[in-house]
Structure 1
Amino acid sequence: MTDPGSFMRYVAIGDSLSEGLGDPSPSGGHRGWADRLAEILAARRPGLTYANLAVRGKSAAQIRAEQLGPALALKPDLVTVTAGMNDLVRSGFDAASVVADIEEMFVGLTASGARVAVMTFPDPGRISPLARRMLPRVVDLNARLRAAAERHGVTVLDVFPHPVTTDPRLWSADRLHTSPLGHARIASGMAHVLGLTGHGGWNDPLPPRPPVSALGAVRTEVRWVLGFLGPWLWRRLRGRSSGDGCSAKRPEPGPVTPPV
């Protein structure tokens, strides 16, 4: 297994999670867990270069078609992949088809000699009560993802078993994207499974939250439906994606500097 301190080029591919939505950068744009992981790696290997090809709203098939080739052309020795969430929320979801696209990425990336890492999905019903019916999809997708990763020697950050990953404080107000704290926890978790020391507490529980009244909980749900779910559904009905017109924020490898 590759020494995590020896990585020289890290490339992230995927969707909004890897792009960093929900984690504003002090210098503008989005930071996100992949940027944070790059900072952790660069602290141990100052010569590390990093590219991020992820684009919000992309399905697994789109990530494979649009990002796999460019990622391979950059000749990375570490690649992280996030794909499947945008498929999960679509009516025609097919776990086997989604994982087939992800596994094709595993095949190409591992064949190039890169270390590859992926993560599972948390229980959406613990993040938003209206998403409880998605649990069977998530369980199925996670199982297939773990099996594909095992077949190809891909490292897995398995977030599903850990209650803290559905703590509301790790999620943005839209409940679709992780908060800055959530991105920090993912970066630490990925560093941990890659073998970097000092990140074993990535899944530690947060302090208890103050109790919320039943009325307060209802108001929160109404605000979420009106402010986030409604606009998301309207966009889907019109056949539009949040990624329309967007491009990769960091298409070329460059040195890593912590945000000011």
Structure 2
Amino acid sequence: MGYTSFVAVGDSFTEGLNDPPVDGPVGGLGEVQRFRGWADRVAERLALTEPGFRYANLAVRGKLIDQIVQDQVPLAVEMKPDLISFCAGGNDLIRPGSDPDRMAKKVAAAVRELRASGAEVVLFTGTDPRDTPIMRRARGKFAVFFMHVRSIADLYGCHLVDMWSMQGLRDWRAWSGDRLHMNEVGHRLVAAKVLHVLGVPGDDDWRMTWPPRERVDPRAKLREDAQWFREHFGPWIGRRIRGTSSGDGLDPKRPHLTPWERATRERG
């Protein structure tokens, strides 16, 4: 079917970090950089076949499930789009003491509300964290939550984008320097998988196979790890201690359900 409107709900993954805009970084010194991301890429493809196609992206980096359900889900329901994507839980899972069973109940309640609006809903499992030095310790918790998401998708008739099976995302070349957010290649792969799940033809293949990598010098790897700790992990720990979030004070990049052409102009 052709979709006439699409609303994306979630956190940094859906906002599009760290996939830069087509025309490069937006804004001057001190302004928040706008990103493109898989959701923008999907909207761009859906707009090709639907004149007047409308799109909103309510996602904000750093948001937890409770915040997404409280702040974004009601807005998405009110907009009454044909299609809604919902992805939440990543920021909850990396926090100590998070309970995947309780998280899943909140997701299920949100999905019921979204489906009751008449929209088709797209849900996501995350990637397998076994290759991530810190998050792999919580691999079991991730797996339990994503199995819940699978069950919720089946129960409420949602589309499911299974990123756990995407081998192309197992390679660090699909990720940005912070090791938490995908780069342009990663977002292209996810967009391709979303379009595949929706039955919409696209230009990219989500079953990407990377060419072999050259052997990495262990000393260079240590320097790279030290730089990552200093520039990304250390500040993240600092925010946890202070009780702040990277998304504090930020508004969604596409807060209104507007025609795609207008949204594109506003981005540039």
TM-score normalised by L of structure 1: 0.94
Distance 1:103 1:199 in 2: 33
Alignment map for 1:99-118 (pairs within 5 Å):
99-118=104-123
Counterpart in 1 of 2:81? 76
Runs of 4+ in 1 over 6 A off after TM superposition: none
Distance 1:103 1:251 in 2: 24
Alignment equivalent of 1:146, drawn from 138, 150, 153: 150
Q: By how many angstroms is 1:46 displaced? A: 2.8
Give the match's secondary structure for 1:139: helix
Counterpart in 2 of 1:14? 10
Q: Which amino acid aligns with 1:43?
A: L
Q: Where do 5+ consecutive residues of structure 2 fail to align?
A: 27-33
Q: By how many angstroms is 1:24 displaced? A: 1.6
Alignment map for 1:45-56 (pairs within 5 Å):
45-56=50-61
Distance 2:168 2:217 in 1: 21
Counterpart in 2 of 1:243? 247
Q: By how many angstroms is 1:200 displaced? A: 7.3
Counterpart in 1 of 2:63? 58
Q: By how many angstroms is 1:241 displaced? A: 0.7
Q: Which amino acid aligns with 1:132?
A: R
What is the number of residues matched between the two proteins?
255
Q: By how many angstroms is 1:38 displaced? A: 0.1
Distance 1:67 1:234 in 2: 27
Contact 2:189 2:204 in 1 (8 A): no
- 1:24 corresponds to 2:20: yes
- 1:43 corresponds to 2:39: no
Residue-by-residue CA offset, 1:57-110 (whole Å, 9 max, x unaligned): 111111011111111111111000110000011112110111111111210111
Q: Which amino acid aligns with 1:186?
A: V
Alignment equivalent of 2:163, drawn from 149, 156, 159: 159
Measured on the aligned residues, the alpha-carbon RMSD in Å equals: 1.5
Q: By how many angstroms is 1:197 displaced? A: 2.5
Distance 1:23 1:199 in 2: 18
Alignment equivalent of 2:93, drawn from 83, 88, 95: 88
Q: Where do 5+ consecutive residues of structure 1 fail to align?
A: none
Change (3 A) 1:23 1:200: closer
Distance 1:180 1:87 in 2: 24
TM-score normalised by L of structure 2: 0.91
Q: By how many angstroms is 1:199 displaced? A: 5.9
Counterpart in 2 of 1:186? 190
Give the match's secondary structure for 1:22: coil
Alignment map for 1:152-231 (pairs within 5 Å):
152-198=156-202, 201-231=205-235
Contact 2:168 2:206 in 1 (8 A): no
